[in-house]
Amino acid sequence: MRSMPLTNLVQAVRPVPITICTVAKASSPAARAMASEWRDKLQRYVSVEEVCVKPNPKNVKDPLLAVQHEGERTLAALPNDAYVVLLDERGKALTSPGLAALLTRASSDGSPRLAFLVGGPHGHHASVRARADISIRLSDMVLNHQVAHVVLLEQLYRAWTILKGSPYHH
């Protein structure tokens, strides 16, 4: 039996609402403009909610304690029923079609929401890692949160265009 091309399966993909939770200070105007552009494109396909968690909310000098506080706030901001995708340089490498497949799985598994987590300058706390259903990386290199946010939005848009058979991904 021949395998069916991914684009033939697309019609059945239910858009799973997305929450993007980022530990970050306010982004630069350029990063905000780029993120807005990709968010607007992505929202043609799926609902996107963005949550910003203030880095080092208690202004502590110890980076480990700061990450712990950020982790507490991140977990509090997450929808309880979300399928959680942690972005981390040690995560699994995915191709763009691989991300499209992840979206398809979330849809077929009945996940009510996807949550993508972008960590702060010192990464994610162990409690946040433990809550994640999968850990992926956007690059072999560490990315600034503003860059990671824009890359994530573009890749989510690309994944949806793959699923819908749009010529954007070639």
Provide the residue ranges of all domains of the chain, joining segments of one domain with +. 6-164
Please tell me the distance from the alpha carbon of residue 81 to that of residue 96, in angstroms, as a whole number. 25
Please tell me the distance from the alpha carbon of residue 159 to that of residue 42, in angstroms, as a whole number. 10
Q: Which amino acid is it at 124?
A: H
Question: For residue 96, how many other CB atoms are within 10 A of its CB?
Answer: 15
CATH class name, domain 6-164: alpha beta
97-153: pLDDT as tens digits: 999 999 999 988 989 999 999 999 899 999 999 999 999 999 999 899 899 999 999
3-state secondary structure of 64: helix
User: Angle CA(75)–CA(69)–CA(115) in degrees, nearest 5?
Assistant: 25
Taking the model in full, what pTM does it have? 0.90
52-109: pLDDT as tens digits: 998 887 788 898 999 999 999 999 999 999 999 999 999 999 999 999 999 999 988 9
Q: Which amino acid is it at 3?
A: S
Q: Poorest-confidence range of 2-6, 80-84, 105-109, 156-160?
A: 2-6
Give the DSSP per-residue string, 86-139: EEEEEEEE--HHHHHHHHHHHHHTT-S-EEEEE-BTTB--HHHHHH-SEEEES-
